[in-house]
Amino acid sequence: MNGASKPYGVLAEFTTAASIMHAAEKVRDAGYTRWDVFTPFPVHGMDRAMGLKNSKVGWFSFFGGVAGYTTGMLMIWFMNALDYPILVGGKPMFSPFSAFPPSYELTILFGAFGALGGMLFLNRLPRLHHPLLKNRRFALVTHDRFFLVIECSDPKYSEKDTVKLLEEAGSRHIEVVEE
Amino acid sequence: MAEKATPTLTPPPVPRELERVPLVLNQRGFGWISDRVTAITEGSAPFWWWAAFIPSVLLLGLLGFMLAYQITTGVGVWGNMHPVMWGWDIINFVWWIGIGHAGTLISAILFLLRQRWRTGVNRAAEAMTIFAVMCAGIYPALHVGRVWFDWWLFPFPNSNGPIWPQFRSPLMWDVFAVSTYFTVSVLFWYMGLIPDLAVMRDRAKTKLRQFLYGLFALGWTGSNRHWSNYEKAYLLLAGLSTPLVLSVHSIVSLDFSVSQLPGWHTTIFPPYFVAGAIFSGFGMVLTLLIPLRKICRLEEIITMRHIDVMCKVTLATGSIVGYAYAMEFFVAWYSGSAAEQFHFMNRALGPYQWGWLPMIICNVVVPQLFWFKWFRSNLWAVFIISIIVNVGMWFERFVIIVIGLHRDFLPSNWGYFKPTWVDVCTYLGTFGLFFTLFLLFVRFLPMVAISEVKGVTPQADPHHPLGGAGHVERIPDDNEGATSV
């Protein structure tokens, strides 16, 4: 991109899991809100260092599971007992016991879709364009580097202070990323 | 790592016997893991890959031919004949689906049990699961006879009444169990792949690779806000897959045990089938990974400790299977049922004794060698035993299905089953499908979960000296937790 495009945020590079975590604690304590940490693998304890709350994916999965079980039971009751009842071996038209195995499987199926779909929804993925993905240096995030990015849209953002904070946090490579 | 080498913390010395064996040997760095795992997917395909791939594709062609022949001619080309109406098709269905179970056990159950060694093998094992279930799925689809009516198995609205599937039959439960198993396994596998596809995207040299890996990586950046949701979703999928994998082979076993047939009508079947499935699945994981770790130079990621642990799981599940065999005989005697007693005597001493003996030798006797460390640490021994395990498990399904069916209550209804060349060639063909898909997986996708392996190295732990702990002035003491953002 050319120099006229507007900045997206400040990118700071770290080399160890501990250094990025302490930097995250500093940024959290400084009161920034629109910032993020990028790591090649989930760093244990980072959620707390960033002040993140528990993920809400569980709710998606839970409601998926409830929907699956209900769908299974209602579907089997409708098909075998209401819409087209056929007597087989003198068994009841509908029994929660024989309907349980398929409903159980549907519980898991819908719950799994809820977990994956919820994760993608909460993360706003798929996202095939991201300012950071154009940055050459940032490609190392999937290799062995750790990055901390504070966005310009953060109310506390000022280029000078933000860069200073990240320098104090121990980063040895800081750059401004274009939109 | 040690840019400011002034450690303020000196960890207390750990006694040698309590030291943790590292999961990745030789203290390899993060970048090394990426480089080593993706090496096989980059550059031109090595000779061994083609040498394995071409025969696999030929076998796949054989499968295609056999399927076309069976569909156009009818399932009469199989050896299935009254009274043995379930033959090699159902044997192979149960065999393949059982093999799949180890993948889910490794990816889900061992995750919940916090067995961190699973990260080295889970990706390949999950791929194995998916491809094995695909092989398994072919058989019931063909067994119905008229393949073009397979969609009747699913509850679609239709113009025939509408007539719906009959959910009081365990065969319908099986449809739901196997299709759910396949779908959830694919979801779980794919979700694990997303961060690694991002690794592949960021390493890609060509435009096509950048585009394709980028497309399937869904724009993954490694953001911690994303990881937070991702890890929760991963945990949930593991939690959901655990009851799933236990239910799938249980439901497969209900296909048998809900019937009235001596030898099938037993309550021991669900746990016994699940144990056997995991047993055979670990056999297949070992068969696949022992050559692969050598050829792809992954010995430092899939270490001898991994092999050792998997041998122990094989030993444990094999012993459960042996216990189940013994218990079947005991229950037959203890029940006082003449038909049941006859069935088990017929198993051991009847015309199919040649099927029962290899089952006992391969599944009960041979795995006991894993009690000895020499056998667990000798790769040739492990490789051979892992193949023997799967031969034995094939015979187990043969014993259950064919011996179960060939002599029931009425002697005038007895018969003797023989497979035809079509049975044999179709079975060989499924190996073609399996190995073709597996080799494509090895060549184009990271066969070790890169980000997960990075996460279990000591330098990934911010509280470990190798992770940089002690190199900064301020030791975190204010972890009082979540201030909302």
pLDDT in tens, B319-375: 999 999 999 999 999 999 999 999 999 999 999 999 999 999 999 999 999 999 999
For B319-384, the DSSP string reads HHHHHHHHHHHHHHHHH--HHHHHHHHHHHHSTTHHHHHHHHIIIIIGGGGGGSHHHHH-HHHHHH
- Residue A127: predicted pLDDT: 87
Q: CB B29 to CB A118 under 8 A? A: no
CA angle (A155, A158, A160) in 5-degree steps: 160
Contacts of A168 in chain B (CB under 8 A): none
Contacts of A20 in chain B (CB under 8 A): 462
- Give the tens place of pLDDT for each residue, A168-178: 888 888 988 88
Q: Are residues A47 and A134 in the same domain?
A: yes
Local structure of B403: helix, strand or coil: helix
Q: CB B223 to CB A55 under 8 A? A: no
Q: Are residues A96 and A129 in the same domain?
A: no
Is residue A104 a part of any domain in this protein? yes
- Residue B481: predicted pLDDT: 42
The single-letter code of the amino acid at B390 is N
Among A12, A4, A6, smallest CA distance to A169 is for: A12
User: Helix B88-104 to helix B170-203 angle, to the nearest 10 degrees?
Assistant: 50
Mean pLDDT of B425-447: 95
Q: Among the three residues A122, A138, A164, which one is the final residue of a domain in this structure?
A: A122
Q: Are residues A115 and A162 in the same domain?
A: no
- Residue B9: predicted pLDDT: 62
Q: How far apart are CA B457 and CA B22, in angstroms?
A: 7
* Cα of A2 to nearest chain B Cα, Å: 22
- A149 forms bridges with which residues in the sheet? A11, A36
* Cα of B135 to nearest chain A Cα, Å: 21
Residue B243, C-beta contacts closer than 8 angstroms, at least 6 positions apart: A104, A108
Per-residue confidence at B309, pLDDT binned at 50, 70, 90?
very high
CA Rg value for chain B: 25
- Residue B249: predicted pLDDT: 87
- A178 forms bridges with which residues in the sheet? A7
- Among A80-94, B46-60, B231-245, which stretch is predicted with the lowest mean pLDDT? A80-94
Per-residue confidence at B114, pLDDT binned at 50, 70, 90?
confident
Q: Which of B190, B218, B244 sits opposite A108 (nearest CB)?
A: B244
Q: Are B305 and B119 in contact (CB under 8 A)?
A: no
Contacts of A71 in chain B (CB under 8 A): none
Q: Are A112 and B188 in contact (CB under 8 A)?
A: yes
For A90, nearest residue in chain B (alpha carbons): B168
Is residue A130 a part of any domain in this protein? yes
Among B161, B239, B481, B398, smallest CA distance to A46 is for: B481
Best of B171, B225, B453 to disrupt the A interface by mutation (most A CBs within 10 Å)?
B225
Q: What count of other Cβ atoms lies within 10 Å of the Cβ of residue B112? A: 12
Mean pLDDT of B124-146: 93
Q: Are B1 and B468 in contact (CB under 8 A)?
A: yes
Q: CB B221 to CB A16 under 8 A? A: no
Q: Are residues A105 and A132 in the same domain?
A: no
Q: Are residues A107 and A62 in the same domain?
A: yes
Q: Are residues A69 and A112 in the same domain?
A: yes
Is residue B125 a part of any domain in this protein? yes
* Residue A125 token pair: 């993925």
Q: Are A177 and A166 in contact (CB under 8 A)?
A: no
Is residue B354 a part of any domain in this protein? yes
Q: Is the pLDDT of residue B218 over 60?
A: yes
Domains contained in chain B, number? 1
Q: Which domain holds residue B242?
A: 24-148+181-463
Is residue A2 a part of any domain in this protein? no
Per-residue confidence at B5, pLDDT binned at 50, 70, 90?
low
- A173 forms bridges with which residues in the sheet? A13
- Residue B484: predicted pLDDT: 38
The per-type count for chain B, helices as H runs and strands as E runs, is 17, 0
Q: Are residues A45 and A73 in the same domain?
A: no
- Residue B382: predicted pLDDT: 96
A158 Cβ under 8 Å from any chain B Cβ:
no
Mean pLDDT of A72-77: 95
Is residue B1 a part of any domain in this protein? no
A67 Cβ under 8 Å from any chain B Cβ:
no
Q: How far apart are CA A41 and CA B452, in angstroms?
A: 7
For A115, nearest residue in chain B (alpha carbons): B233
A86/A119: higher pLDDT: A119
Is residue A27 a part of any domain in this protein? yes
Q: Are B459 and A25 in contact (CB under 8 A)?
A: no
Q: Is residue A84 classed exposed, middle or buried when 0-12, 13-18 and 19+ CB atoms within 10 A define those classes?
A: middle
The single-letter code of the amino acid at B271 is P
Q: Is the pLDDT of residue A76 over 50?
A: yes
Is residue B301 a part of any domain in this protein? yes
Q: How far apart are CA A148 and CA A158, in angstroms?
A: 16
Q: Is the pLDDT of residue B4 over 60?
A: no
Domains contained in chain A, number? 2
Q: Among the three residues A122, A143, A159, which one is the final residue of a domain in this structure?
A: A122
Is residue B478 a part of any domain in this protein? no
Q: Is the pLDDT of residue A118 over 90?
A: yes
Q: Among the three residues A122, A142, A165, which one is the final residue of a domain in this structure?
A: A122
Q: Are residues A43 and A62 in the same domain?
A: no
For A39, nearest residue in chain B (alpha carbons): B222
List, as own/partner pairs, every contact residues A71-78 make where C-beta atoms lie below 8 angstroms and the sequence separation is at least 24, other chains included.
Answer: A71/A103, A71/A106, A71/A110, A72/A99, A72/A102, A72/A103, A72/A104, A72/A105, A72/A106, A72/A107, A73/A99, A73/A103, A75/B155, A76/A102, A76/A103, A76/B167
Q: CB A141 to CB B180 under 8 A? A: no
Burial A133-161 (b: 16+ CB within 10 A, else e): bebeebbbbbbbbbbbbbbbebeebeeee
- Give the tens place of pLDDT for each residue, B149-194: 888 888 888 877 788 888 998 989 999 999 999 999 999 999 999 9
Is residue A143 a part of any domain in this protein? yes
Burial B6-23 (b: 16+ CB within 10 A, else e): eeeeeeeeeeeeeeeeeb
Q: Which domain holds residue A107?
A: 57-122
